[in-house]
Structure formats: structure tokens, C-alpha cells
A and B are shown apart, each in its own frame.
Chain A
Amino acid sequence: MNLREAVRIALRGLRANRLRSVLTMLGIIIGVAAVILLVAIGNGVQSSVNEKIQPLANLITIVPSVGNVPGGSPPKDLIDADVTALQDPTMSHDIAAVIPATSGKALAETDSYRFRTTVVGSTDRWLDLNNGDMAAGSFFDDAQVRSTARVVVLGPSVASYLFGNDPAAALSHTVRINRQTFHVIGVMQSVGEPGDSATIMPLNTARRYIFGGGDKVNQIIVQAAQASVVPAAENDVIRVLSERHRIKDTANRDFEVQSLRSRLDTFNQILRVLTLFTAAVAAISLFVGAIGVLNIMLVSVTERTREIGIRKAIGATRRAILEQFLIESLVLAGLGGVIGIGVGVGLSVLGSVLAPALGPTFATFAPAVTIPSVVLSFAISLVIGLVAGGYPANRAARLRPIEALRYQ
């Protein structure tokens, strides 16, 4: 008996009980669709978060440790000389750029409004390293850094609070911070907090007018050559600073090195586990669907006992009967799988179109279908067809023709 004939017989059998077939398939359809949709949502969250963080993933931040170790040597501050040491290209070939930053809370005032902002003093490369963009005006340049110019660049929240929603409205106005007057030369685009309520000015300007003098910095931002060498760059940073601060025991380290990269790895790991877990929960419905297929195949074999007897009488071998019912259950489960893939992919695409329209928060959850989830869930439906159809088909094949023919 050839396969085409067998599939045709199977389809005819399924069509004869259309409602029953559809209801049986429903379990598999729901299971497959749920697995695909949930994996797609997990994947969507992961890729949108990674996409946002990727440009910052090569950044390493060094801050002084809070508190000192009892009995240890007194902690040393991070100073300009530390920055200069890290900038030395012979120290590490995994470090692309190093900039210092000082920061602190301060009140920014106009004649009519006040805003509590975070003042950051840094170099002209700050915007570039933080992957920021300007909404209006420009960032300060190297000349302004050298000349200790009294200029500031505002985060979008600061600008809109003090000068209204149009970023350009803030330009060429002045703000007062610590009773000193500064010219607003630019407004940044939103990058999320805390950057949005920050006020950026040249490092020396901040030292002279806000935080007082000295060569102390409270943050060093290191850019690794690329995200993949972040761990190596981190080690270089630790080596250089430990040497400069004469630290022999890691417990006495007076600075902390943080990178988004390692946090991102942790996040991705957690998300992968969560996605797998939700997919596994959805797969329970696939299991229920498999029992449905098994049940309906048993009914189908019993119902058609006489037909099986006729087929055997006119020459069907055990194998032919086995194939007939196996193919029927494979078609049932496979068709359910295909429809489930259609529904799952359809819902995912619908979600990926609708989610961004609902706002930036929902856009994070825009599903992205993964090919392995589609292939795997189709394979699982076929396995369900094979396993759930195997027992009934075997029972049908073993029926004795004279008894089957006598069955009413």
C-alpha cells in the first residue's frame, strides 16, 4: 500500500468526523501555539533589552568603595592620576577610552523654577561613551573643557521642567547652580533615568564652581574595545589600580569595578530559564492534547472494527492496517501542529505589530518567533501522533478478521 493512498484514506476518515477531529486537534493547536507564543515573547524581551543595552555593554564603571576595611590601610580616593594611568595604552590593549567624572546633587534654578538635579562633571567624550544624542544645541567641546567654560548640557527632564517641553527653548538661557550662573548650550535626548535628570558640565568647571577643587573623581568610565573583551579589560583595570593603590589582598580593595555586560549575562540567563519554564507549562497542554488523540484513536478503532475486518478479508496485512491508523493519527496530530504553528506565529506577528503601538513599555514585550521553537513544536506534534496512535493502531492490526467481521 503506498503512502499517498494511506494519507487519502486517513483524510477521508478525519473528514467523516469533522467536528470530532477538530476538537481533538484543538488540544495540540493550543499547546503548540502557546509554546511558540511564549518562547517568542521571552525572545522578544531578551532581544529588545539586549538591543538597548548593547551599545553600553562595553562600558566599565569604577567607583570608590564605601567604608573601609577594619585593620586595613585607609582607602585612597580615585584621582586624576588614576585616570591618566588607565589611559596609558601600554597598560592594556583591551581599553579603548577612559574618562573621569565627578557628580553630586545640586539645585538648578531659573527665575521661576527649581529642579533638584545630578550635576556631572566630565570631558567632551561623556556623551559619546554613554551613547547619548542631542535633542537641541550641542555638547561642550574640548576647548570648553580646557577653558573651564561656564556651560551646561541639560538632561531632557531638567530642560522640560525649567524651560518647557520644547528642548530648543532652553538654549541660550542661563541656569543658576550653587549661586553660579551657567549657559545652557544643549539638551540631550532621553536615555532613561538617571541620565534624564542630570546636568552635565566640563570637569574643571564642576570642580571650580560646584564641588570645590582637588583632583578627586568619584567615577571613572572605561570603554572596552568591544563587549567581548570586557572581562579582560576589567582585569586590566583591577591590576593597574591595585598596583597604584598598593593593594595586595582583594578584600582590601578600595574601589569597585562594575560592568553592564556581566549584569546583562545574568539577566539573559534568568530570562532563558523563565522562558523555558513557561514553555514547559504550555507543553502540559500538548500532553493533554496527546491524551485526546490517544482517546479518539481508540474510539476510531473500536468504531471501525468491522471495516478493519473487511479490509483484512480482502487482503490487508497487519502492517497495512497499522499504517492506516498510524498515518491517521499522524495526520491528526501533524495537522494540529501546523494549525497551531499558524496560530502561534500569527499571534506573535500580531503582537509585534500591536505592542509598539501601545507604548514603549509594551514594545519591550513585542514577540519575536524563533525557528527552533517552530521546528521543535512541530516535531513534538508528530511524536505525539506516533506515540498516541501507536497503541490503537497496533490493536487494530492485531484484530482477528473473523471476529472483526462479526462485530456489530
Chain B
Amino acid sequence: MIQLEDVSKVYRMGKVEVPALSGVDLTIDDGELVAIMGPSGSGKTTLMNILGCLDVPTSGRYLLDGTDAGRLSDNRLAKIRSRKIGFVFQSFNLVARTSAVRNVELPLVYAGVHARRNPARHALAQVGLGDREKFMPNELSGGQQQRVAIARALINDPTLLLADEPTGNLDTASSAEILKLLGALNDAGRTVVIITHEEEVAGFAKRVVRMRDGRIESDRVQRSRTEVTA
């Protein structure tokens, strides 16, 4: 379970203080599929950085599975990212010149797991790329790269799958595939948070949180979800 309590984030740009988040309260239960929406500058990226333990709030509390992740050292944050968070980025962010299966293995390397090859193969098969494990990122299509990234995000069995504009660099068909995959993962019980500015993507989530000027503008559960057809 994820709980944000009165979370604020202020960036210092020289002498000027720029508030990015002000007093955000948000609770996400296990197994939810949440879309966080908002125009650029609304604070959704800052929110994602805090949810993903890439950054810490200036004030307020962030409880991830009961641990306050807002007051941790660099090192502890890295450990939490390793164990509890799976990232999917807009630009895939696979490590170049490293095969698909090795990319998927990487989180296990940093978690200190020795038996890596088999779980990595299994994760690749789960996203439908069992036959592409030796391919380099530049030999894969955008949709395939994003699926490798999803496999990599899943390998450590994270509490939270965080997807930042996961379909932003993809064509319509690939976008539908990725959304379907994320939906399937959620159906299997995985908590998924998608940050997006696309209405179609939001339409597919069970719950939509809209941001504006660093605050939550609206937070509603959708009864009528868009069905994704690939």
C-alpha cells in the first residue's frame, strides 16, 4: 500500500524557490490501476519521482508498504528501488549494447541474486519476447523495447509498477499492445501507476488522478473503462 500524507516538494533554482508539489494526499491500494494526469508543469513528474524513490519530499510523509521512504539515505533508497519499484520509461531506457535478457537481469545483479538467467528468460517469455533474448536494444522495435523494459521492471516482483508515459514514443498498435500488457499485469494483481497526458491512456485506467499546479485537482474511479483492442 502507498500513502502520501501532505507531501510537498520545493526546488531551489538559484535563489528562487519553485514549488512543484504542495500538500498532496494520496493513497493507492494494492492491485489498483491508477493514471496520474496533468499538463506539463502540473507536478506529475515530481510526484512520480517521489513515488519511485528517485527523489524525497521536502515535507510530508511517503509510506511505501509502511516504510517512510521520505527520510532515507541514498543507499537505502537504492535498495528500495531495487526491491519494491519497477520502472517503465517513455524512452524505454534499456542499457545500450546489452542484450535483452541481460537488460532484464540487471535489477537482479544489483539485488545480489546469483541465479538470474532463468528468471530473466521467464520474464521475457511473459511479455511475449521469449524468442528475442539475445537481441540488442537497437535490433528491437519500439514496442518490443518497451516490453523488454516491462520485463525488467517485473523481474524483482515489485510492489509498484511505475510507468512514465509508457506509450509516448510508440505508434497506435504498439501503444495498444503495451496498455493491454499493463492491464493484464494489473488483472493478475500488480499495482500499476501510469503517468500520462493522453486521455486514451487515462481512459483505460480504473482510477484517474488529475494534477494541476502541484495539487490534486480531481481523483475519481472510472466506471466505464475504455477497452483496449490490439
Partner of A318, one of B75, B82, B83, B109: B75
Number of interface residues of A (CB under 8 A): 22
Type the 1/0 row for A316-342, where 1 means its CB is closer than 8 Å to any CB of B. Answer: 111110000000000000000000000
Q: How far is the CB of A380 from chain B (nearest CB, A)?
A: 31
- B193 proximity list for chain A (CB < 8 A): none
Q: Which of B87, B106, B152, B153 has the most CB of A within 10 A?
A: B106
Q: Is the CB of B98 within 8 A of A5?
A: no
Q: Is the CB of A16 within 8 A of B97?
A: yes
Measured between C-beta atoms, what is the minimum distance from B107 to chain A in Å? 5
Q: Which residues of B are interface residues toward A (Cβ below 8 A)?
A: 49, 52, 54-55, 74-75, 78-79, 81-83, 87, 89, 93-98, 106-107, 109-112, 114, 152-153, 156
Can you identify 27 A-B contacts, CB atoms within 8 angstroms?
A5-B109, A12-B98, A16-B97, A310-B95, A311-B106, A312-B78, A313-B81, A314-B81, A314-B82, A314-B87, A314-B106, A314-B110, A314-B153, A315-B78, A315-B81, A315-B107, A315-B111, A317-B78, A317-B79, A317-B110, A318-B74, A318-B75, A319-B75, A320-B78, A402-B54, A402-B55, A405-B54
Closest to A406 in B: B45
CB-defined contacts of A16 to chain B, threshold 8 Å? 97
Chain B residues near A405: list those with CB within 8 A: 54, 89, 93
Q: Does A316 contact B95, Cβ atoms closer than 8 Å? A: no
Cross-chain contact of B78 among A12, A306, A309, A316 (Cβ < 8 A): A316
CA A13 – CA B95 in complex, angstroms?
A: 11
Question: CB-nearest residue of chain A relative to B46?
Answer: A402
- Check if A231 is an interface residue, CB within 8 A of chain B: no
Q: For residue B97, which residues in chain A have a CB less than 8 angstroms away from its CB?
A: 12, 16
Closest B residue by C-beta to A310: B93
Whether the Cβ atoms of A314 and B152 lie closer than 8 Å is yes
Task: List chain B residues, Cβ under 8 A from A306.
Answer: 93
In this assembly, does A307 line the interface, its C-beta being within 8 Å of a C-beta of chain B?
yes
Residue A1 lies at the interface, judged by CB distance under 8 Å to chain B: yes
Residues on A with beta carbons closer than 8 Å to the beta carbon of B78: 312, 315-318, 320
Residues in A neighbouring B114, C-beta threshold 8 A: 2
Beta-carbon contact of B93 and A1 below 8 Å: no
* Cβ distance A124 to chain B, nearest Cβ, rounded Å: 81
Closest to B82 in A: A315
- A401 interface residue per 8 A CB criterion: yes
- Knowing A314-B87, A315-B82 are in contact, say whether A1-B110 is a contact too (CB < 8 A): yes
User: For the complex, what is the distance from the CA of A108 to the CA of B98, rounded to whole Å?
Assistant: 87
Question: With A and B bound together, what is the CA distance between A385 and B99 in angstroms?
Answer: 28
Which of the residues A5, A307, A309 comes within 8 Å of B96, measured between beta carbons?
A307
The 3 closest A-B pairs by CB, nearest first: A315-B82, A315-B110, A317-B78
With a cutoff of 8 Å between Cβ atoms, the chain A residues found around residue B83 in the complex are 315
In the bound complex, residues from chain A placing their C-beta under 8 Å from that of B106 are: 311, 314
Write the chain B residue with the least CB distance to A309.
B93
Task: Report the bound CA distance from A401 to B50 in whole Å.
Answer: 12
* Alpha-carbon distance between A366 and B94 when the two chains are bound, in angstroms: 55
Q: State the Cβ distance, A225 to closest chain B Cβ, in Å.
A: 67
Residues in chain A near residue B152, CB distance under 8 A: 314
**Partner among A311, A315, A319, A320 whose Cβ is within 8 Å of the Cβ of B95:** A311
Which chain A residues lie closer than 8 Å to B82 at the CB level?
314-316
In whole angstroms, how far apart are the Cα atoms of A313 and B52 in the complex? 8
**Nearest A-chain residue to B48, judged by Cβ:** A402
Partner of B112, one of A1, A309, A313: A1
Given contacts A313-B52, A313-B81, 17 further A-B contacts (CB under 8 A): A1-B109, A2-B112, A2-B114, A307-B95, A312-B81, A313-B93, A314-B106, A314-B110, A314-B152, A315-B81, A315-B111, A317-B74, A317-B78, A318-B78, A319-B75, A320-B78, A401-B54
